[in-house]
């Protein structure tokens, strides 16, 4: 998104439609930010630009990657072999951690959790949803994955191995969901629309072209 | 040089050291199978205190049978697994499984 | 986390962040658009950690969050923990002074007299 050119000097004020801070941690955010700006550690503009940059990182980037992998076998091979360098082909910068891409099949269904914190492939999926960071998801997924999947409305047959990936260290995982049946000949754009955020975490399957879930 | 290769059986140390560690408690003391070697990464237990993390540690994805982890006390199917990324200093070679796979 | 003696021992040994396998209620799946405050905390954290500043790394951040009290960890939101950790790390790294932060906080609270000290809504 091009920069809108409005000035960011109001970064320490509040726009009228935004709720006033009322809690101590919200005051702490203001205090730290103003001190950092006063001391020249960061500028208000840098903070505002970073906020804006994160708003532009959405799961659509991930959906583009998956749709391309579904339609281009060589790309998928490269993606599975080296996530970081392969997403760079699409202009996505993924640095600092190793991106590992795993593929869901009829025999193996991956789902990702971080039991120790909230590791998430943010350059590809944006900011993690609240549930991904929640204590219930982090606690339960490694022990009762099928109960968790059921809460997401996802039914994986017991003949398929569910493999929970606990993202404990320097690895960030992206799941390639199964390509839905009946999508032969669809454009990459149309396929990307079937790839939801949750299907790339593994708590859901991709959408059916008619809008439903794929049969697992 | 990595000590383990895919397919190797490994046991996770049943240790509870102080400080910052990245080995989840629920896997400590259990035996699993190496799936892949990711390379070597700076030691997070040292990085956590502002040190350089050298020497780096090999990092592996290790997969565990849900049944070995929870012994039935969970909601999973017979063949389900859980995998975690574990640094080499937490792993010891274990005998090949005598369980059926 | 009460239970038999084994469970209690484990609870003591576990870091407060180490949740794998513990019991939990239904997952709250509602979508939440991060507020401006949350986005700014996130942005500041990223700026502090990224080059060229690189004042601290993710493992130092995790260590700081692990050292929060269990009561605070249980009762706080995600970004509340982040901003609290950021304060500790800024003092630890000599980026900001503890007294300066307290003085600024008092000034900020005074800007919102109708809110400060009130029992804020938990969103």
Domain coordinates in residue numbering, chain A: 22-55, 59-201
| Average pLDDT value for residue range C6-10 | 44
Contacts of C21 in chain B (CB under 8 A): 25-26, 69-70
pLDDT score of A20: 84
Question: Which chain A residue has the Cα nearest residue B72?
Answer: A143
The residues spanned by each domain of chain C are: 35-117
Query: Per residue in C22-44, pLDDT tens?
Result: 999 999 999 998 999 999 999 99
Residue B68 and residue B32 in contact, taking contact as beta carbons nearer than 8 Å? yes
Contacts of C9 in chain B (CB under 8 A): none
pLDDT score of C7: 43
pLDDT score of A185: 93
Q: How confident is the model at residue C107 (pLDDT cuts 50, 70, 90)?
A: very high
Question: Which chain B residue has the Cα nearest residue C93?
Answer: B50
With left for phi above 0 and alpha for psi between -120 and 50, is residue A27 left, alpha or beta?
alpha
C35-117 architecture in CATH?
Orthogonal Bundle (1.10)
A118 has a pLDDT exceeding 50: yes
Domain B1-17+37-95: CATH class, spelled out: mainly beta
ipTM for the complex? 0.95
The residues spanned by each domain of chain B are: 1-17+37-95
Please indicate whether residue A77 is annotated as part of the active site: no
User: Is the model more confident about B100 or about C54?
Assistant: C54
Q: How confident is the model at residue C90 (pLDDT cuts 50, 70, 90)?
A: very high
B29 touches chain C (CB under 8 A): no
Q: Do A116 and C20 count as a contact with CB atoms less than 8 A apart?
A: yes
Please indicate whether residue A118 is annotated as part of the active site: yes
Given A43, A77, A117, A134, the catalytic residue: A117
CATH of A59-201, one of 3.40.50.2000, 1.10.260.40, 3.40.50.1820, 3.90.330.10: 3.90.330.10
**Helix count (H) and strand count (E) of chain C?**
6, 0
Q: How confident is the model at residue A135 (pLDDT cuts 50, 70, 90)?
A: very high
pLDDT score of C88: 98
A128 has a pLDDT exceeding 70: yes
Report the half-sphere exposure of B2 (CA within 13 A, side-chain side). 20
Cα-based distances in Å from A21 to A93, A108, A116, C86: 34, 46, 29, 18
pLDDT score of A213: 63
- Find all residues with CB under 8 Å of A8, minimum gap 6, and list them: A44, A45, A48, A49
Residue B6 and residue B83 in contact, taking contact as beta carbons nearer than 8 Å? no
A47 touches chain B (CB under 8 A): no
A137 has a pLDDT exceeding 90: yes
pLDDT score of C115: 61
B30 has a pLDDT exceeding 60: yes
């Amino acid at each position: 998104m091009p920069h809108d050119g409005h000035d960011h000097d109001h970064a320490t004020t509040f726009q009228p439609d935004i709720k006033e801070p009322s809690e101590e941690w919200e005051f702490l955010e203001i205090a730290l930010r103003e001190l950092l700006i006063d001391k020249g550690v960061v500028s208000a503009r840098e903070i505002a630009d970073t906020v804006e940059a994160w708003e532009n990182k959405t799961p659509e980037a991930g959906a583009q990657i998956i749709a391309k992998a579904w339609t281009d076998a060589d790309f998928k091979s490269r993606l599975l072999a080296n996530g970081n360098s392969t997403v760079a082909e699409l202009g996505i910068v993924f640095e600092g951690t190793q991106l590992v891409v795993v593929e869901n099949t009829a025999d193996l269904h991956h789902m990702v959790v971080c039991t120790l914190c909230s590791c998430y492939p943010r350059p590809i999926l944006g900011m993690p949803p609240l549930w991904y960071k929640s204590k219930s998801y982090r606690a339960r997924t490694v022990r009762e994955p099928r109960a968790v999947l059921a809460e997401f409305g996802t039914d994986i047959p017991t003949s398929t191995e569910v493999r929970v990936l606990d993202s404990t260290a320097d690895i960030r995982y992206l799941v390639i969901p199964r390509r839905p049946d009946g999508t032969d000949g669809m454009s990459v754009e149309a396929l990307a629309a079937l790839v939801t955020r949750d299907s790339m975490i593994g708590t859901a399957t991709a959408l059916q072209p008619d809008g439903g879930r794929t049969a697992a | 040089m990595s000590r383990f290769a895919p397919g190797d059986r490994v046991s996770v140390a049943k240790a509870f050291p102080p400080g910052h560690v990245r080995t989840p408690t629920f896997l400590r003391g259990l035996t699993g199978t190496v799936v892949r070697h990711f390379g070597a990464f700076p030691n997070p237990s040292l990085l956590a205190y502002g040190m350089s993390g050298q020497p780096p540690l090999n990092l592996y994805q290790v997969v565990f049978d849900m049944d070995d982890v929870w012994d039935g006390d969970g909601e999973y199917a017979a063949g389900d697994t859980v995998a975690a990324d574990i640094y080499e200093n937490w792993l010891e070679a274990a005998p090949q499984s005598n369980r059926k796979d | 986390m009460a239970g038999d003696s084994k469970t209690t021992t484990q609870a003591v040994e576990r870091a407060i962040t180490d949740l794998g396998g513990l019991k939990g209620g239904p997952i709250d799946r509602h979508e939440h658009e991060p507020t401006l405050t949350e986005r700014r905390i996130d942005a500041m954290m990223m700026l502090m950690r990224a080059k060229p500043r690189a004042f601290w790394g993710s493992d130092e951040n995790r260590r700081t969050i692990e050292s929060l009290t269990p009561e605070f960890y249980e009762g706080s939101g995600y970004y509340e923990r982040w901003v609290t950790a950021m304060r500790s790390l800024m003092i630890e790294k000599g980026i900001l002074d503890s007294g300066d932060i307290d003085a600024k906080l008092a000034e900020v609270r005074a800007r919102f007299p109708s809110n400060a000290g009130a029992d804020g809504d938990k969103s």
